[in-house]
Structure 1
Amino acid sequence: MSRRQVLSLVPAAGLLGVAAPARAAVPGPAAVSGAVAGAASGAASGAVQAVDHGRLLANTVAILAGTPEVNARPEVAGKLTAIVNAARQRLTAMDQAGDGELFAGLALGADDVNLRLAYQYLYEIALATRTPGSALEGDATAARRAADGLAWLHERYFGDQSAGYYGNWHNWEIAIPTHVSRTLALLPDELRGDLTPPYLASMDAYLRNGKDGDVDLDSRFHTGANLADITANRILQGALTGDDARVAKAIADQSTVFATIDPYDLRHGNTDGYYADGSFIQHHSVAYTGSYGRALLTRVVQTLNMLQGATTGFADLPAVVYRWISDGFAPLIFEGWMMEIVKGRAVSRTTSGYTDLNVIVEAIADLAEHVDDPLPLKKYLRFLPAADTTTFVSPGGIARYAAVRADASVPAADLNPAARSVAFNAMDRTVHRRPGYAFALARSSERISKYEYMSGENLMPWFQGDGAYYLYLTGEDQREVYGVDYYTTVSPYRLAGVTAPVEERRTIPELYGRLWYENPGHPLNFTSSSESQNTYVYFPRGENAFSGGATLGAYGVAGMVQSDDVAYTAKQEGLLPDDFVAYRNARATKSWFMFDDEIVVLAAGISGQGGRDVVTTVDSRIAAPGDAVALTGERWDGRAWQAGGAATPLRWLRYANGTRGTSVGYAFLARRPVAAGLETVTRSRRVVRTGNPDTAVTKNVFTATVAGDDALAYALVPHATEAALRRYARGPVSVVANTRDVQAVRHEGLGITACTVFAKGPRLAGRLLVDGPAALIVRQSGRRTEVALSDPTMRRDHVSVLVPGRPLRVSEAGEGVTVRRVPGGTLVRAATRHAYGRTFTAILH
C-alpha cells in the first residue's frame, strides 16, 4: 500500500506516531507535518515541544496580510484593493457611529450576529494596517482605532459573562474568537499587550461546550470543522502569550480530525469527520462535504501554514488531506460546481454552487506546497474552472494559485477518471460520472439524516434525502438549472426522484413562530441547540436500515427503503409534546442502476399511507423563461405525444433546451400514465431561507410525474436523441424483477445483471440466487465473470450469491471474499461484518 493509503487507515493515536519521510534541508512539507505529530505527542506525554511563537505569529500575519514579495504580484492587486476598501468603509462607519454604537447602524447588546460583525469589522481595519503595499499599511491611527474598538467591545459587550452568550453558541465559541485572535495577531505589540490577557480569559470562559475553558473531545460541539476552528484559534492564542502548553494541546486536539472515522471503534463517541469511503459527516448524521467539509479542509491547511518552521516533529498529515481531496471532494465537483447532495442547509444559500469551489481551490493550492508529489494537485487546479481569487483568505494563496494556472508546462487533468461510480455509503450518497454528465443521489437511513434544517435555512427540506437526485449536464451553467433557484421554484414535493404523499406541510417558522421548536419544560428539553432539537427538528434520521449499494469498476447500484423519520415514530409512541408537529412519509422500495448511457430507476411497494394519494417525480428541471424548451414523446401505441392534457402512458419522453443545447430523455420500462408539462413559476428566494434577499425568481419549470402505487421503472438518458430513446423498446436494458423484495436489471450490451435484495434469505434475481439483504453486480464477458457484493443494511456478517452454470475458478478475490464450487454453480461469499457498506469483489473464470 502507498504511504497515503496507510495513513488513511491509521487511527488517531497511531497517526500521530507515523514518522515523516526525509526531505530536503529547506523547510518544507515534511518539516511542517513532523511538527504537528511531535507537538501533539509531546502534549499527550507532558513533554511539550518547543514552539517558536514569533515565527508562528509571523506566519499567521503572512497568511492573512501577505508579504512584500507576494503583494507586489499583479494577480494580488485586486485583493489589496478589497482589503483597503473594506477597512475604509469600516472606518467611515466608526466615524458615523451614534451614541452607544461602535459602527453606524450596528445595534449591540441583544444581537449576537451584530456583535460578530463588529469584531469582523475591527479585524478588517487591523488587516489593512499590516498588509504590505496597502494604502493603510503602517497607519498607526487606524491600528489604534482597531485596538480601542476591541477594548470598547470587551468592556461593554464581551467581558461580562452574565450578559453574554445569547443567540448562537457558534458566534461566542468560534466566530468571535476567530476575529479577536486574528486582530490581536495583526496589531503591534504595544497595542495588543494589555488587551490579550483579558480577552483570552473571556474567550476561555465562553468555551462553555468545552471543559475548564479548553477543548473537550467528548463534547458533541467539539468535532470536525468546529473542532478545527476552535483549535486553530487556540494555537494562535498560545502564540500571542508564549504559551507552549496551550499551542501543543491545541495541536494535539486538532490532529484528531485527521483520523479516519471507524464507526466500530469511535473515539470520544465522535462520528464527525472523514470515512474510509471518502464520506464526510458533520452534526453526527449529515452528509456535509460541501459546507462543513470545506471549512475543515481550509482550516487544517491554514494550520499547516501557520506552523511551518515554528515547531518540529509532526507526521505526514498532508498526505491524509490529499486523500480527502481525491476521494472526498473531487467526485462531488462537476465542472466547478459543488453538488447539492452534500451541503445540508447550505443548499438554500444564494452563494452556494460555483463559489463553493473558491475555498477548496485555495486549500489545494496551499496543500500542493506540503505534499511529496504536488503535480496531480496542480493538474487539477488547471483543470477546474478559474476561481474568484478575491474571495481567497490569503494573498499568498492567490499568488500560488496564479502561478499554477499560468504554468503551461503543467497539463490540465481531472483527479477523477473519465468514468467513475462512487458509493459514499457512510453518508448515504452516490455519485456516478461519465463524460458529458454526472448523476448525484441523496439517500437516508437510521444512520444518516433525511435533511438538514436550521436557523431559518432550508425551510422546505422534507424530501431531500428520500432518493432525490440531480442530473448535471456538461456545458451547462448550473446556476440556471440547480442551486437556490431550483429549490425556490420547484415544489418541495416534486424534487426529481422523490416519492411524496399528496399533502401540504408547514415550515418550522410557520409551525412555531420562531426558528426552532421551544419547550424547555418537556423532559427532552427542547431549546435552540439541544440534542432533542437536533434529533427531531434540525436533522432527523430515517427508520430504515437498508440504504446502500455496490460498485463494480465504473458501474454502480444503490437501493433504499423509504421510511418515516424518527420524529414521526416518536410522536406515535407518545414521546414528544402534544403541540409538536411530525409528518408521516410515503413508503417505497427503490433502486438505481448506473451504467454508461443511462441510469435505470425502479420503485415498488409505493404507498401514500393513511389513504393519501402519492406521486413519484421522474424529473424536475428549470430553465430561464426565454429559453427554447421543447417536450416530445411517444405513446406505447406508437403515436406521438403532445404536451399538456391528462396523464398518458408513454414509452419515452424527451426534454430539450435548445437555447443551451442540452437534453434529457426518459425511457419508460413499465406502462404507467405519465403527467408532464411546463409551468412558469415566480417565487421569492426567501421562501427557502429567511436570510435570503426578497428577490423574485422566475423560471420555466418542467416536471414529469407518475401518480399511484403501482411499480415504476424508467431510465434517465442524458443527452438523449429521439432516435436513441426509440431504441429502448428493443433494449439494451430489461427489468428482471421489480417487487418490494427484489429489484433487478439486465443490461445486455454490458453483460451486467445488477440487483438489490431487500428481503431476508435466498431470493432469485433472474438466474442469480442472492442471500439478502444485499446489493449485487455481476458482469460476464466471455469466460470472465466479475462479482461485486455489499451489505446495504450494515448489519450482516456475510452476503453471498450463487452464480449458476459451470463451476468457475478464482482469478482474483478481495479480502474477505471466499469462492467455492457447489452443485449448480459457484458460490461467492463476502464477510461483510464491520465493513460499513463496503463493496467486495471477485473475478472468476
Structure 2
Amino acid sequence: MVDMMILAALAKKMFILRILTNKKRMKIILILLLAFGAVMAKAQDSHTFDRIKKHVYDDELQSSAAPSDKATIWRSQLTEAGTWSDIDYTSKSISLWPPGEHLDRLKALIVAYVSPKSKFYQQKSLYDKIVQAAQYWANNRFESTNWWHNEIASPKAIGVCLILMKFGQEKIPPTLEMQLVKLMERGDPYKKTGANKSDIAMHYFYRALILEDENLLAAAMEQLLLPIQLVDGEEGLQYDFSYLQHGPQLYIAGYGEEFLKGISKVMAYVRETPYAVNKEKLDLFEKFLLETYLPIIRARYIDFNVHGRGISRPDILRKDQEVGLLQQMQLIDPANNAVWKKGMAKLDSLQAFDAEFTHRHYWKGDYTTHLRKQYHFNVRLASKRTNKSESGNGENMLGKNMTDGVTNIQVFGPEYYNIMPVWEWDKIPGTTTRDYPDDQELKEQWGVLATNAFAGGVSNGTIGASAMSVQYDGVSAQKAWFFFDREIVCLGSGITCAAVEPVVTTLNQTWLNGPVVWNGKEISTRDSLIRNVKGGEYVLHNRVGYYFPEAMKVALTAKEQSGSWYRINRSRSKDAVRGKVFKLWVEQAAKPVNGSYAYIVVPGVDQIDKRAMQQLKIWHNTPAIQAVEHQGLAAIQAVFHQSGTCQIGAWSIQVDKPVILQITKGDSVFKLDVADPLQQEKAIHVHLINKSAKVNQIVEIALPQAEYAGSTASKIITIGK
C-alpha cells in the first residue's frame, strides 16, 4: 500500500514535468529520482525491521503454551499499583531473584493479549493491566547483587515484552515505552566474551528493533555473531570444539548451551534478510551443535560433567528445550532438514538410541567422550591449563572433586538425574579421594587452575586412552582409562596420601534401579557390604558390569540416602530429598603409599562375558607406565608418565618423552597414534620392536603445535619393514 502511494505521487510530478523546459525538467527529474531512492530505501529498511519483529513474535508465541492459563492467574492477582503481592520487590538475591518474576508475569499477560489463540486476545481490560504492571517496573530501578540479572536477564525480558506489544491492537504508550527502553541500556557486549557477550548483544538487538535503529542493529548483529569463531584457550568455542567459560573451564552445557540457544534464535530471526548469517559461521555453529553438544545427550539427559556449577540446580540435566533449538535450525538451514529431524528423534526418550560410534578427546577442554549405541562413558579431567569445577553465587557448594577424573556412565539416560542433593560428594563416580566423615565445601570461587601438568588423551576416532596425574587435597594418583569397543579398563597407581582419612576410588554412585548381582547371585538390600574380592569377581547393576581383574578390597551400599538442594545450592529448598542409591568403591589401606586399583566397566550388558574379559591384558600399572592390550581387537594402549622402555605383549616400546600412545593392527600395517599430555613437546621418538611382525624401527612423529597441541598425531608402520 505504501509503495503504491509513492508511485502515484511520482506519476503526478512526472505529469507536471511535461510542461517545463528540458533543462529544468532534467534537474527536477534528478532530484525526484534521488528522493524516490531514499524513500524506497527507507521503506525497504522498515520492511526488514517488520519482518524480523514478526519472526520474534512468532517464536515467542510458539514457545508459550496455553497463553490464557497463566494470564488468568496473574491478571486477577495484579494490584491497582501494578504489583503482585507475593513478589518481594526489595530482594537483591544473587541466584533466584524475586523481582525478575514480575517481568515473567508481565510477558505472560502480553502473550495472552497478542495471541489469537487466547481468550484475552486484544481485550481492553487486559491491556490496562499490562500498562499498570509495565508502568510500575518503569517507575523503579530494581537491582540484584548479581550483575547478570541487571545487565542480561531484565533487559532481555523488557525487550521481548515491548516487541510483542507491537502486535497489540493498542500499543504501549510512547512515553512508557521510552522509559522501559531506557532501562534496557545496561551492559557492554564489547567487554564480555562467549555466551555473556551474546546475551548482552541480544537485548541490544531487541532495542534496535524497537527503535528501528539501523546502526544499533548492525552493531548488535556484529557482537551477536562474533562468538561464532574458534579461540585458543580464551573463553568461547575452542579448536577442539569444546566450549570454555569463566576462564579455561569446561562448559559445553551451561554457557555453551546459552551460546547455542541465543545465537540460534537470532539467526532464525534475521533469516531471509540482509543480516542473515554467512555460511562460514553457520558451518562452525552447526559443527559444535552436531558433533559436540547433541552427541553427549542420551535420551534427553546430558552428561553431568559439562554443566559446571549448574549441576546444583534441579532438573538441569533433562534437555527438553533442545527440540526448540532444532526447530530453529530447520528455519535457518532447511537444506539440512533431515539432520534436524534425526536430532529431534534422538532426543525423544521413546526412540531407540542411535548414537554415533565415536571416541573423542577434547585437548583444550580436558574432556573425553566414548559413545556407543549401548552406552555413554565420558571422563572429565583437569590440568594446569584448565580450571577445576567452580563454586559461585552459592552454587555447587560441595563440588571440590568434580574434575578429578569424573566418569559419567549412561545406559538409559537418567542415571544421575537430580541425584546431586543425596550424593556423598567425596565419592563422585570415577574419582580417587579422601573419604571424609562429612562432605567438604569447595572454598575456591569461580574456578582455579588445577596443579597437575599431566592430562590428555589419544584417539583414532573409535577407541582411545586418557590419563591424568591427580595432585589435589593431599592425594596423589596416576589415573588412566583405556577405551575399547565394549569395555573400559580403569587403572590407578602411585596412590599416596598422608592424611588420616581413608582413600577411596569410586566406581559409581547412581540411582538404585533394580537388583544388584554379585558373582551371579542377587544380594539382599543392606546398609553396607565390604569384601576382599578375588580376581574374576564382578558386580552387575542397572545393565552395567564392574569386573575386578585382581584382588582388592571393595565396598558396596544399596540404600536410601538423603540431603537437600540447599546443601549444594544456597538459593534452593531446604526440604529433604531422599532416594535409594547404588554406590560401589575400592578402599585403599590407611595412609597409602604407591597404592593401586584396577577394574573394568562393561556398560550395556545383563551379564559378564568372562571369555571377553580374558582378552584384556593389563601389562603395567605403575607410577611410570600404565598399559593394556585388547587381544581381540589387536590393540594396545599405553600411558608413559615419563620416558622409558617396556614390554607390552609382542611389542617392545621405548619413548623419549612422556606420551599417551595406541597401536592398532590393520591390513599389512600397524597404526601408531600418539598425544602429548604435557602439550609442550615438538616431536617424539618411539622405538618399536615386534619380532613376529618383523618390525624394528625408530619412529619420529612431529607433534601438533599451538592451538592443536595435545591432539593426536598418527603414523602408519608397514609390517616387515
The TM-score with structure 2 as length reference comes to 0.84
* Unaligned residue ranges in structure 2 (runs of 5+): 1-40
Which runs of structure 2 are paired with 1:321-332 in the superposition (5 Å)? 321-332=285-296
State yes or no: 1:837 paired with 2:710: yes
Which position in structure 2 is the counterpart of 1:274?
Answer: 237
- CA distance in structure 2 between the aligned counterparts of 1:304 and 1:382, rounded to whole angstroms: 19
Instruction: Indicate how the Cα distance of structure 1 residues 127 and 774 shifts in structure 2: closer, same or farther if over 3 A, else same.
Output: same
State yes or no: 1:337 paired with 2:308: no
Which position in structure 2 is the counterpart of 1:771?
Answer: 656
Aligned mate of 1:167, from 145, 158, 168: 145
| TM-fit CA distance, 1:596 | 1.2
- CA distance in structure 1 between the aligned counterparts of 2:439 and 2:690, rounded to whole angstroms: 56
State yes or no: 1:234 paired with 2:218: no
| TM-fit CA distance, 1:620 | 2.5
| TM-fit CA distance, 1:254 | 1.5
Rg comparison, structure with higher value: 2
- CA distance in structure 2 between the aligned counterparts of 1:142 and 1:722, rounded to whole angstroms: 62
Which position in structure 2 is the counterpart of 1:651?
Answer: 535
Which position in structure 2 is the counterpart of 1:117?
Answer: 101
* Unaligned residue ranges in structure 1 (runs of 5+): 1-47, 159-163, 264-270, 389-404, 406-411, 512-516, 518-535, 565-583, 635-641, 810-820
Instruction: Indicate how the Cα distance of structure 1 residues 844 and 305 shifts in structure 2: closer, same or farther if over 3 A, else same.
Output: same
Q: State the secondary structure of the residue aligned to 2:410.
A: strand
Contact 2:480 2:639 in 1 (8 A): yes
Contact 2:382 2:404 in 1 (8 A): yes
Q: State the secondary structure of the residue aligned to 1:647.
A: strand
Which position in structure 2 is the counterpart of 1:450?
Answer: 388
| TM-fit CA distance, 1:177 | 0.3
State yes or no: 1:711 paired with 2:596: yes
- CA distance in structure 1 between the aligned counterparts of 2:505 and 2:242, rounded to whole angstroms: 28
Aligned mate of 1:606, from 486, 495, 503: 495
- CA distance in structure 1 between the aligned counterparts of 2:392 and 2:53, rounded to whole angstroms: 33
Contact 1:348 1:458 in 2 (8 A): yes
Which position in structure 1 is the counterpart of 2:625?
Answer: 742
State yes or no: 1:670 paired with 2:550: yes
Alignment deviations for residues 691-731 of structure 1 (CA, whole Å, 9 cap, x no partner): 44424322143323222332212211224455513763xx2
| TM-fit CA distance, 1:600 | 0.4
- CA distance in structure 1 between the aligned counterparts of 2:467 and 2:353, rounded to whole angstroms: 32
State yes or no: 1:801 paired with 2:689: no
Contact 2:477 2:494 in 1 (8 A): yes
Q: State the secondary structure of the residue aligned to 2:543.
A: strand
- CA distance in structure 2 between the aligned counterparts of 1:656 and 1:413, rounded to whole angstroms: 22
Instruction: Indicate how the Cα distance of structure 1 residues 144 and 285 shifts in structure 2: closer, same or farther if over 3 A, else same.
Output: farther
Contact 2:701 2:715 in 1 (8 A): no
- CA distance in structure 1 between the aligned counterparts of 2:581 and 2:265, rounded to whole angstroms: 43
- CA distance in structure 1 between the aligned counterparts of 2:276 and 2:566, rounded to whole angstroms: 50
Contact 1:619 1:703 in 2 (8 A): yes
Give the counterpart letter for 1:614 in structure 2.
Answer: V
Aligned mate of 2:445, from 531, 537, 546: 537
Contact 2:686 2:699 in 1 (8 A): yes
Which position in structure 1 is the counterpart of 2:457?
Answer: 549
Alignment deviations for residues 514-567 of structure 1 (CA, whole Å, 9 cap, x no partner): xxx8xxxxxxxxxxxxxxxxxx32322211121110102300100101123xxx
Which position in structure 2 is the counterpart of 1:364?
Answer: 326
| TM-fit CA distance, 1:126 | 1.3
Contact 1:53 1:239 in 2 (8 A): no
Aligned mate of 1:702, from 571, 583, 594: 583
Which position in structure 1 is the counterpart of 2:248?
Answer: 285
Alignment deviations for residues 728-771 of structure 1 (CA, whole Å, 9 cap, x no partner): 3xx21111221222211111111111111222x44436311123
| TM-fit CA distance, 1:88 | 2.0
Which position in structure 2 is the counterpart of 1:373?
Answer: 335
Contact 2:361 2:458 in 1 (8 A): yes
Which runs of structure 2 are paired with 1:43-54 in the superposition (5 Å)? 52-53=45-46
Instruction: Indicate how the Cα distance of structure 1 residues 314 and 643 shifts in structure 2: closer, same or farther if over 3 A, else same.
Output: closer
In terms of mean alpha carbon deviation, does 642-651 or 496-505 score higher?
A: 642-651
- CA distance in structure 1 between the aligned counterparts of 2:418 and 2:608, rounded to whole angstroms: 34
- CA distance in structure 1 between the aligned counterparts of 2:337 and 2:629, rounded to whole angstroms: 41
Which position in structure 2 is the counterpart of 1:467?
Answer: 405
Alignment deviations for residues 229-264 of structure 1 (CA, whole Å, 9 cap, x no partner): 11111111012112111111111112211101234x
Which position in structure 2 is the counterpart of 1:396?
Answer: none
Give the counterpart letter for 1:203 in structure 2.
Answer: M
Give the counterpart letter for 1:672 in structure 2.
Answer: M
Which position in structure 1 is the counterpart of 2:376?
Answer: 438
- CA distance in structure 2 between the aligned counterparts of 1:234 and 1:284, rounded to whole angstroms: 25
In terms of mean alpha carbon deviation, does 126-135 or 169-178 score higher?
A: 126-135
Which position in structure 2 is the counterpart of 1:827?
Answer: 699
Which runs of structure 2 are paired with 1:149-548 in the superposition (5 Å)? 149-155=133-139, 157-158=140-141, 165-188=143-166, 190-204=171-185, 206-207=186-187, 210=188, 215-216=189-190, 219=191, 222-263=192-233, 271-312=234-275, 314-316=277-279, 317-354=281-318, 356=319, 358-371=320-333, 373-386=335-348, 414=354, 416-417=355-356, 419-473=357-411, 476=412, 478-479=413-414, 481-485=415-419, 487-504=420-437, 536-548=444-456
- CA distance in structure 2 between the aligned counterparts of 1:755 and 1:613, rounded to whole angstroms: 29
The higher relative CO (CA closer than 8 Å, separation ≥ 6) is in 1
Give the counterpart letter for 1:734 in structure 2.
Answer: K
In terms of mean alpha carbon deviation, does 420-429 or 487-496 score higher?
A: 487-496
Instruction: Indicate how the Cα distance of structure 1 residues 310 and 787 shifts in structure 2: closer, same or farther if over 3 A, else same.
Output: same
Give the counterpart letter for 1:180 in structure 2.
Answer: I
Contact 1:54 1:239 in 2 (8 A): no
Alignment deviations for residues 108-166 of structure 1 (CA, whole Å, 9 cap, x no partner): 133351221112211221122112222222123323322332222221x21xxxxx544
Aligned mate of 1:145, from 94, 104, 129: 129
Give the counterpart letter for 1:699 in structure 2.
Answer: K
Contact 1:147 1:187 in 2 (8 A): no
In terms of mean alpha carbon deviation, does 555-564 or 611-620 score higher?
A: 611-620
- CA distance in structure 2 between the aligned counterparts of 1:747 and 1:736, rounded to whole angstroms: 11
- CA distance in structure 1 between the aligned counterparts of 2:581 and 2:200, rounded to whole angstroms: 45
Contact 2:312 2:396 in 1 (8 A): yes
Instruction: Indicate how the Cα distance of structure 1 residues 275 and 320 shifts in structure 2: closer, same or farther if over 3 A, else same.
Output: same
Contact 1:557 1:754 in 2 (8 A): yes
- CA distance in structure 1 between the aligned counterparts of 2:581 and 2:496, rounded to whole angstroms: 30
| TM-fit CA distance, 1:91 | 1.2
Contact 2:703 2:709 in 1 (8 A): no
What is the count of residue pairs matched by the alignment? 658
Which position in structure 2 is the counterpart of 1:570?
Answer: none
Give the counterpart letter for 2:561 in structure 1.
Answer: V
Give the counterpart letter for 1:107 in structure 2.
Answer: D
- CA distance in structure 2 between the aligned counterparts of 1:57 and 1:111, rounded to whole angstroms: 37
- CA distance in structure 1 between the aligned counterparts of 2:178 and 2:50, rounded to whole angstroms: 17
| TM-fit CA distance, 1:784 | 1.4
Instruction: Indicate how the Cα distance of structure 1 residues 140 and 616 shifts in structure 2: closer, same or farther if over 3 A, else same.
Output: same
| TM-fit CA distance, 1:457 | 2.3
Which runs of structure 2 are paired with 1:630-649 in the superposition (5 Å)? 630-632=517-519, 646-649=530-533
Which position in structure 2 is the counterpart of 1:688?
Answer: 568
Contact 2:82 2:129 in 1 (8 A): no
Which runs of structure 2 are paired with 1:750-765 in the superposition (5 Å)? 750-759=633-642, 761-764=643-646
Which position in structure 1 is the counterpart of 2:89?
Answer: 108
Give the counterpart letter for 1:386 in structure 2.
Answer: D
Q: State the secondary structure of the residue aligned to 1:110.
A: coil
